[in-house]
Structure formats: structure tokens, C-alpha cells
A and B are shown apart, each in its own frame.
Chain A
Amino acid sequence: MSPSTSHSAPVTHTILSLPDQSTAKMPKRHYLNNEDGLLSWLLTGDHKRIAILYLISITFFFFIGGAFAGLIRLELLTPQPDLVSADTYNKFFTMHGIIMVFLFLVPSVPATLGNFLIPIMLGAKDLAFPKINLLSWYLYVAGGTLTLAALVLGGVDTGWTFTTPLSTHYLNTHVLTAATAIFIAGFSSIFTGLNFIVTVHRMRCPGMTWFRMPLFVWSHYAASLLMVLGTPVLAIALVLVALERIAGIGVFDPAKGGDPLLFQHLFWFYSHPAVYIMILPGMGVISEVISTFSRKRVFGYTAVAFSSVAIALFGFFVWEHHMFIMGVSNYSALVFSLLTMLVAVPSAIKIFNWTFTLQKGSITFETPMLYAFGFMGLFTIGGLTGVFLGSLGMDIHLTETYFIVAHFHFVMVGGMLMAFLAGVHFWWPKMTGRMYPESLSKLAAVTTFIGFNLTFLPQFILGYLGMPRRYHAYPPEFQVLNVLSTAGATVLGIGYMLPLLYLGWSLKYGAIAGDNPWQATGLEWQMQSPPITSNFVETPIMDHEAYDYEWLANKTQKEVTTVG
């Protein structure tokens, strides 16, 4: 099939209706029941089981982080600091940040969906290093446990950014424990990224060229580059902070000749790419979902693939935009502001490509698609408000206020979390063999969208008014907006509780999914749900493009038999 570069003339038939699921049967043997017993899970090398392990632990930490968010919003209902003490409040937002960033957002899509799908999407039997994959999970659990330990022992109140010299010399909370926890969790991330890169390079099945891979894989590849190259710098920054706390010398303390700005550079050198580590896998999910529910290949596949890599590349060169007002040289600020503007462009390209994927498609509105639409709108707003912040003069007024808080929650929660939920719903049938209840899930999606906007739109206004972030108490004139925000947070919380409940319910009572309930392309949809442990009995040979709906339509009617 020769690729055309413009709107092609021939009309091609695509699948009209979803297959009859009433006759779908649960396969007898699959990766979930292949082996029994706790040890078969705790010592597994199967990437799919590891993905499920991650899914459970990530969900656990998400709700703890969410509880802290609830407490924060509760305190902010009133201008006075009347719910908890200042130190406790500082611990709330620190723990919320640490848990959500390092224990939820960074591993969310890569470690669950990425782990589960990348080998299958590439036609491989597993990732390159299954044992290291398991090690990644244990490192994640260790980091998470240490974080909980820090919490239980009394908490840490440095802010998730560990700004020195506050964190090194002026606090006596459990900074070392928290720093160690993140250090360990960081290695989990590094090993996951390493695994993905090697798998993509070396374990694609015959015929699977780079440009036949699903865009989900491209996004994860780009994110893995960032994980592998950026996370070690965070590790060393934390080591230096820990050493400084132990030895009391002043690498970051100006009273002793050190430079606190050095820590800022080291920290943000990782933490800016970190935000792209968080969002790129989500973007990969969106590519898959929008394509499937429009029954169309993604518009501009090459552009989207290259944009992912471009975001990763440019993402390494913009870290100083977190430090524009910190006394950096005006000329360096110029350079980083310019680069920040450049890094915004590939994201815009992707949004438009996804939008135009819808054109001339055949669109249905299942829950994953609803979440994808939510992502499109909210990520657009979040990304554009990033341009506000990348603009030097504007950043002076907006930085360190609630505008920043609103900006990153729009991209991370409105963007990334929605993408995660889209992915979980989309691949839930594949991972569990069960369908989730569609009406309830649609309700949850809409609830989340409404709750989210109510929570975070007022925060943009608060930010411009000047309300600083990490504030326990605030001037009374900011109260109305804060109350709106807290009301929204309540709705948002409900929106997140619902999936927890109905997805759990579906494990036992959900409709049987069958191998391809969405009639999607992609190797994962051409096998039973749930898949067998070795994914493929025989290595597949890829002979068609990604998102090839014609191939799907022409596929023989022979139904894939399940392994009996």
C-alpha cells in the first residue's frame, strides 16, 4: 500500500460495529491464572504481572497523595490557619507533591500500561530484562515504603523541591529518609526506561520497522530517554543534599562559601525533563485511543513520532525557566525562555494532529474517548499557560503563585491523569478480560472533568491576584475563589473514587470482553483477553503499517481461537 501524503481519494471500508460480545468466552489459560500462589506473583518475570503489581501499588499511593490534597483544600476553605498547624500543613503539601510526582505520575503509564503493552506491541515475548523489570518494581515499593516511613515518623516539610539551604540546614524533619526514598524510586524509573529502550531497539519482531510501531511505543521511547539520562542527576543532587545534612558543610550554603543556586540547577536539570517523562506516555495513550475510536490512522504519524522525540530532546535544555527570578544572569534567562518557546511547539503539533485524526473518521464516544477529549482541552489550556510562564516578563508576576499550581495541575491532572484513566479503561478489557460498566464510567469521566475545572480554573485567577503557593493562610479577599476550588476538589474526588469501585466490581461481574472489543488495530488486540503468558506462541511477522484499518477489515473472519 503506497502511502499518500495528502487526503487520499479511495474510500475504504472500516468496521461498522463492535463484535457480538454475548458469545465471548473467558479463555481458560492466561497470564493471570497460569501460575498460582503469592510467590508466583512476587517472583514473576512476566511483564504483564509486573504491570498489574505496579497498577495496584500506584493506585494505593495515588489515593494517599489524594488524601493529602483533600486535606490541603480543606484547610484552604478559610483564610485563617485554623485546621492544622503551620508545620503540619507544610508536611501536607510536601507529601502530596512527593507522592504524586515520584510515586504516581512518573511511573503511572510507563510502569503499568507501558510494561504490559510494549512487548506485545512490538511482537516480543517479554521486555529485554524481565528480572530487572521485577527489580524496578521492588525498588518502587522500597521507595514508597520509605516515603510512608518518613510520613509515619513525623513527615517531611521541605516541599517536593527540597530547596536548599532550607532542606539542608534549617529543618529537622525527616529529610534524609525522604531523600533516600526518592533516590531509590529514581532507580526504579531508570531501570524501567533502560528496559524500554533496549527492548525497542533490539526486540522488535521481523517486519516491525521503527515507523510501523504504534505511537504509544514512540512516546515511551522518548520518555525512556529522559528517564535514563535525567534521573541520575536528581540522584546525585539528593546525595549531595544528604551528605550536606550529615556533614553540615556548606556545598549549598552561602554562609560557608557554597552556592544554593547550584542545587537549583542540579535539581531542575532532572525535574524539568521529569514533567515530560510524566506527560509523554500519556500522549502515547491518547494517540491509541483517538485512533481506535475514530477508526482511523493517526493523522501525520511521522510528525507525531518525531514530535515526541523533539519534546524529549528540547526538554533537556529548558530547566532554568524554573529559576528566572532567582538572580540568574539576564542573558541566560533569554536563552532559556527562547528554548521554552521552542519546546511548546511539538506539543501543539500533536494536539492538532490528534484533532485532525477525527476528521473523516467514524467516531464513537466510549469512556476512553471521553477522557481523551478531556485531555485535549485541558492539556491545551495547561500547555498554553506554560507559554505565559515561559515569557520572562510575565513569569515575574506569575511565578511562585497559584498560577503555577493551576498550570501544572492542568497538564498533570487534566492532561496526564486523564490520559492514564483513558488508558486504563481502554486496555482494561485486554488486561483483565472484562468490560467495565460503560454508563457509570462515562458518568465518572464527566464528573472528573467538571470537578477538575471547578477546582483549578479559579486558581489561575488567584495566581494573577498574587496569592502565593504553599500558603497556609491567605488574605480574606481570596476566600471565594478558594471555596470554589475546594468544592471542585470534592467533585473531583468523587470522580476518582468511582473508577476504583467499578473497576474492582468489573473483575468479577463485568461482561466478558473477548479479544478485540474495540475492533482496534495493534498486535495486542489480535490475541485473547487476557493474553497468555508468553504473549505469542510464535513470533509474529509484521507486514502492515500501524493503525492499518484496512488490514483489520480484510483480516480473515477466522476468529482467533483461545488457548484451551
Chain B
Amino acid sequence: MDRFVSPVLWQFLTRWLHASALFPAEASGISPYVDALYFFLLLMTVVGTSLVALLLLTFCLRYRREKSPVATQVEGSTLLEATWTIIPLAIFLLVFVWGALLYFRIYDPPTNAMNIYIVGKQWMWKAEHPGGQHEINALHVPTGRPVQLTMISQDVFHSFSIPDFRVKREVIPGRYSTVWFEATEPGTYHLFCTQYCGTLHSMMIGEVTVLTPDDYKKWLDQSTSGMSLAQNGERLFASMGCNACHSGNAAARGPNLAGVYGSKLTLTDGSERLVDDAYLRDAILNPSQHVTAGYAPIMPTYQGQISEDGLIDLVEYIKTLQSNYRVQQTQMTSQSDQAAPTTPTAGTTEMVKP
């Protein structure tokens, strides 16, 4: 839109409106693009309404009874009908294409996006950074990096909305939904739940804090409170007994999970599936529908035994699993009756209750 509108005018318009509390801040990479479409649509509305209003006014003045005592009966005009069918249709189709392109941009994250997990529950948001930082009703992100949010609800529909970033996605129970953004301006911005979810729906709000990359790093370092998500996942993997079957040995009862994330699996029913976050989560909860070809359907379901947080930990762990060395280490640890080899771990050493 820089080509069509002078950047000075654009900046003036959006910043002035924002200062008057009439317009949200443009704080993400996609915001200006969304605003551009919005202004076009506003223009369309103003022009359309003005046209109708002008016609109404003109006709009313010109053809009011005092001025026009006799009405002329007019059947219609095919030309006019065609005109006001085709022109609106053309404009609406333009809007359709523009909006569709924007939609695909907002909902297709770039491959280098850093992932943060969001769990929504009545009536709070939990943000889980891969490094283990946990936030409640808050989200810290750096500028200049695409951030992907992988979200799930623990109970009902919620919706994660950051108006200043112009992004919003429903947070659904039972499956992951994702949205991404790249923050451009340091500052604090509103975070809302926008899908009615019960009593304290209006309290399910928070703050998104955007920091410069340096500040973000500082924040990360100082707010690490425990294990990273993957480390938690490793604990769960051992304590839930996953390593018994998924040990990585040749004769193991379960398929090798090292490097499985991002690969294409063939299942026993012949179908091919891409292993992404959703697949991993589903495989843990509904294993009978996700049996890798060549293996027996003996994996028990963990439905009801792991919370969404636990599932996220496990998914993170499997995502980062490149070799089965540590899997086998933890197996030896859990099986052996000798003192466990000490591996320095930051934070607590108590078992994480799933």
C-alpha cells in the first residue's frame, strides 16, 4: 500500500487515530496490511453509502410532490441493473481475493518461526516457552522474529486475540490451532479472550510485552524457573513408561521416535501422515488410529492421564529428540537399583505430576 498512499500520510493517519484512542496500534508486521484492507473497505462503505444517500437526497428534492406532482411510471432498465450488479460484484470479488491472500498469510506460519505454546482454560491463559518459562495471562516476545503460537484449550472454546497485532485464533479443546506474528514495536499490548467462555470471560485478559531482542534474552534468562518444556517431557516420557516400548532398540515394541517429527509416516491402514504437533498429541491420546506400519496396536491410551500441559511437554520433547541416547539412559535409570548418575539439572528435581 505504500505505492498507493504516501507513507507520510499513512503514518499520520494511523498514529493520529491511535493517539485519539480511535485506532489500535500497528505493532506487528501484518498490521499495516490489515489496515490497508480496512481503509479500502471503509472507503468502499463511505462511497457506497454516500452514493445511496446522495441519490436519495437528490431524488427526494427533485421529485418531491410540490416539484413533481405527476409520477412517471418506469418499468426498469436492464442497463442499470447490469451496472449495479457487476460493479458491486467486482468490488466484492476484489475484496475477496485481497482478504483471502491476507488470511493465508496470517494463518500460514513461516518455517523459521519460534514456537510458544498457549493453553487456555477457564479463565486464564498459560504461555509456555520452549525454554521452560511459564507465564500466566502474559506473553513476552521479541521484535523482529516470527513467533508461532500453538494453542489448545483445556475445557471450552476460547479465542486468543491480540488486536494490535491484528491476529486472532480460536483456541479449541481437543486439537491444536496455530497463529503467528512478528512484533515490530516494543511496548505492551492487550491480549483478550474473545470467545464467550463462561463467567469470567471478560477477565481472561492479559498483556503482551514486546521486547527488543536483547531485552528479551535478558528476560528469558531471569525468568527460567525450572526445566525447559523438553526436559519436563523427558521426565514424563520416563515416568509414564513410554521408554519401555519406544526405547529405540531394533526389536522394540514401539517405533523409534528420534527424528520422527517432521517426517512422513505410513500407518497400518496404508495412509501417509505428516508428523506434526497435532499428530503427536493425537497419537498419545488415540493410539489405535495412529499405528505405524509394521507395529502391533498395543499402545494404551493416555486419555485422562495427561493434562494438556503434559502433552505439550511430551510433544516438545519428541520434537527435539534426535537420538535415543537419553531415552536409553533414562531407561537404565528407572530400571537400575543403583544410584542414578547425576546429571546437573537446573531447578527442582521433584517429579512433575502429569
- Chain A interface (Cβ within 8 Å of chain B)? 3-8, 11-14, 16, 81, 86-87, 90, 157, 159, 161, 163, 165-166, 170-171, 253-255, 259-261, 294-297, 299-303, 324-327, 330, 333-334, 337-338, 341-342, 344-345, 348-349, 351-353, 355-356, 358-365, 373, 376-377, 380-381, 384-385, 387-388, 390-397, 399-401, 461, 464-466, 468-475, 477-478, 480, 549-550
Given contacts A170-B155, A364-B65, A391-B37, contact A297 B98 (CB under 8 A): no
Is A8's CB under 8 angstroms from B74's CB?
Answer: yes
Cα–Cα distance between A97 and B56 once the two chains are bound (Å):
33
Interface set, chain B 82-141, CB cutoff 8 A to A: 84-85, 88-89, 92-93, 95-96, 98-108, 122
Is B71's CB under 8 angstroms from A14's CB?
Answer: yes
Query: In the complex, what residues of B have CB within 8 A of residue A392's CB?
Result: 96, 99-100, 102-103
B173-193 interface bits toward A, Cβ cutoff 8 Å, 1 = contact, 0 = none: 111010000000000001011
Q: B196 interface residue, CB < 8 Å from A?
A: yes
Is A465's CB under 8 angstroms from B168's CB?
Answer: no
Is A361's CB under 8 angstroms from B63's CB?
Answer: yes
Cα–Cα distance between A465 and B93 once the two chains are bound (Å):
26
Given contacts A5-B78, A361-B68, contact A166 B196 (CB under 8 A): yes
Residue of A nearest to B21 (CB): A477
Cα–Cα distance between A461 and B38 once the two chains are bound (Å):
12
Q: How many chain B residues touch A (Cβ–Cβ < 8 Å)?
A: 89
Is A87's CB under 8 angstroms from B199's CB?
Answer: yes
Of A161, A170, A384, A396, the residue contacting B106 (CB under 8 A) is: A396
Given contacts A5-B75, A352-B84, A377-B52, contact A468 B100 (CB under 8 A): no
Interface set, chain B 183-211, CB cutoff 8 A to A: 190, 192-203, 205
Of A165, A380, A395, the residue contacting B48 (CB under 8 A) is: A380
Is A349's CB under 8 angstroms from B34's CB?
Answer: no
Q: B4 interface residue, CB < 8 Å from A?
A: no
Q: B170 interface residue, CB < 8 Å from A?
A: yes
Is B21's CB under 8 angstroms from A394's CB?
Answer: no
Is A396's CB under 8 angstroms from B170's CB?
Answer: no
Is A8's CB under 8 angstroms from B24's CB?
Answer: no
Is A295's CB under 8 angstroms from B71's CB?
Answer: yes
User: Shortest Cβ distance from A406 into chain B, in angstroms?
Assistant: 12
Given contacts A303-B81, A325-B169, contact A330 B107 (CB under 8 A): yes
- Chain B interface (Cβ within 8 Å of chain A)? 21-24, 33-34, 37-38, 41, 44-45, 48-49, 52-53, 55-56, 59-60, 63-65, 68-81, 84-85, 88-89, 92-93, 95-96, 98-108, 122, 155-157, 159, 161, 163-164, 166-170, 172-175, 177, 190, 192-203, 205, 303-304
Not counting A261-B172, A295-B71, A385-B45, a sample of 17 additional A-B residue pairs whose C-beta atoms are within 8 angstroms of each other reads: A5-B78, A6-B76, A8-B72, A157-B199, A165-B157, A166-B157, A255-B303, A300-B76, A338-B93, A341-B96, A342-B92, A356-B74, A384-B44, A387-B95, A393-B102, A468-B161, A470-B201
Of B80, B92, B304, the residue contacting A344 (CB under 8 A) is: B92
Is B73's CB under 8 angstroms from A297's CB?
Answer: yes
Is A396's CB under 8 angstroms from B23's CB?
Answer: no
User: Shortest Cβ distance from B268 into chain A, in angstroms?
Assistant: 20
Cα–Cα distance between A16 and B70 once the two chains are bound (Å):
7
Cα–Cα distance between A397 and B169 once the two chains are bound (Å):
9
Given contacts A360-B71, A391-B96, contact A464 B38 (CB under 8 A): yes
Q: What are 28 inter-chain pairs, A to B, with CB distance below 8 A? A: A7-B72, A14-B70, A16-B69, A166-B196, A324-B103, A326-B172, A327-B170, A327-B175, A327-B177, A333-B103, A337-B96, A349-B88, A352-B52, A360-B71, A360-B74, A362-B71, A365-B60, A387-B41, A391-B96, A391-B98, A392-B96, A393-B99, A400-B195, A464-B23, A470-B202, A471-B192, A475-B190, A477-B21
Is A4's CB under 8 angstroms from B75's CB?
Answer: yes
Query: In the complex, what residues of A have CB within 8 A of residue B177's CB?
Result: 327
Of A13, A261, A302, A471, the residue contacting B201 (CB under 8 A) is: A471
User: Shortest Cβ distance from A159 into chain B, in angstroms?
Assistant: 5
Cα–Cα distance between A480 and B69 once the two chains are bound (Å):
48
Query: In the complex, what residues of B have CB within 8 A of residue A394's CB?
Result: 34, 37-38, 41, 95, 99, 102
Cα–Cα distance between A333 and B102 once the two chains are bound (Å):
13
Query: In the complex, what residues of A have CB within 8 A of residue B72's CB?
Result: 7-8, 11-12, 296, 360-361
Is A376's CB under 8 angstroms from B52's CB?
Answer: yes
A-B contact count (CB 8 A): 325
Is A361's CB under 8 angstroms from B59's CB?
Answer: yes
Cα–Cα distance between A337 and B192 once the two chains are bound (Å):
25
Residue of B nearest to A328 (CB): B170
Cα–Cα distance between A14 and B170 once the two chains are bound (Å):
58
User: Shortest Cβ distance from A293 into chain B, in angstroms?
Assistant: 9
Is A363's CB under 8 angstroms from B68's CB?
Answer: yes
Residue of A nearest to B55 (CB): A355
Of B49, B63, B205, the residue contacting A384 (CB under 8 A) is: B49
Cα–Cα distance between A3 and B77 once the two chains are bound (Å):
12
Is B92's CB under 8 angstroms from A345's CB?
Answer: yes
User: Shortest Cβ distance from B198 into chain A, in angstroms?
Assistant: 6
Cα–Cα distance between A301 and B74 once the two chains are bound (Å):
10
Is A393's CB under 8 angstroms from B105's CB?
Answer: yes
Residue of B nearest to A299 (CB): B76
Query: In the complex, what residues of A have CB within 8 A of residue B198's CB?
Result: 90, 157, 166, 170-171
Query: In the complex, what residues of A have CB within 8 A of residue B85's CB?
Result: 345, 348-349
Cα–Cα distance between A254 and B93 once the two chains are bound (Å):
37
Cα–Cα distance between A537 and B98 once the two chains are bound (Å):
60
Of A170, A362, A388, A401, the residue contacting B63 (CB under 8 A) is: A362
Query: In the complex, what residues of B have CB within 8 A of residue A90's CB?
Result: 196, 198-199, 201
Residue of A nearest to B123 (CB): A86
Is A359's CB under 8 angstroms from B74's CB?
Answer: yes
Is A376's CB under 8 angstroms from B56's CB?
Answer: yes
User: Shortest Cβ distance from A398 into chain B, in angstroms?
Assistant: 8
Is B202's CB under 8 angstroms from A396's CB?
Answer: no
Cα–Cα distance between A377 and B49 once the two chains are bound (Å):
7
Residue of B nearest to A404 (CB): B194
Cα–Cα distance between A80 and B22 once the two chains are bound (Å):
20
Query: In the complex, what residues of B have CB within 8 A of residue A464's CB?
Result: 23-24, 38
Is B60's CB under 8 angstroms from A356's CB?
Answer: no
User: Shortest Cβ distance from A360 into chain B, in angstroms?
Assistant: 4
Residue of A nearest to B60 (CB): A363
Cα–Cα distance between A384 and B43 once the two chains are bound (Å):
11
Is A472's CB under 8 angstroms from B202's CB?
Answer: yes
Is A391's CB under 8 angstroms from B41's CB?
Answer: yes
Query: In the complex, what residues of B have CB within 8 A of residue A3's CB?
Result: 75
Cα–Cα distance between A385 and B172 once the two chains are bound (Å):
27
Query: In the complex, what residues of A have CB within 8 A of residue B55's CB?
Result: 355-356, 358
Of B23, B81, B100, B122, the residue contacting A393 (CB under 8 A) is: B100
Is B157's CB under 8 angstroms from A363's CB?
Answer: no
Cα–Cα distance between A157 and B201 once the two chains are bound (Å):
12
Is A5's CB under 8 angstroms from B77's CB?
Answer: yes
- Which 5 pairs across A and B sit closest by C-beta, in order of nearness? A393-B102, A466-B163, A254-B174, A391-B99, A392-B103
Query: In the complex, what residues of B have CB within 8 A of residue A297's CB?
Result: 73-75
Given contacts A300-B76, A395-B99, contact A255 B173 (CB under 8 A): yes
Is A396's CB under 8 angstroms from B103's CB?
Answer: yes
Is A163's CB under 8 angstroms from B24's CB?
Answer: no
Query: In the complex, what residues of B have CB within 8 A of residue A361's CB?
Result: 59, 63, 68, 71-72
User: Shortest Cβ distance from B304 into chain A, in angstroms?
Assistant: 8
Of A171, A260, A338, A356, the residue contacting B80 (CB under 8 A) is: A356
Given contacts A327-B170, A392-B99, contact A397 B52 (CB under 8 A): no
Query: In the complex, what residues of B have CB within 8 A of residue A166's CB?
Result: 156-157, 196-198
Query: In the complex, what residues of A have CB within 8 A of residue B194's CB?
Result: 399-401, 468-469
Residue of A nearest to B68 (CB): A362
Query: In the complex, what residues of B have CB within 8 A of residue A157's CB?
Result: 198-199
Of B71, B96, B196, the residue contacting A338 (CB under 8 A) is: B96
Of A353, A385, A387, the residue contacting B92 (CB under 8 A) is: A387
Query: In the complex, what residues of A have CB within 8 A of residue B80's CB?
Result: 300, 352, 356
Cα–Cα distance between A549 and B74 once the two chains are bound (Å):
11
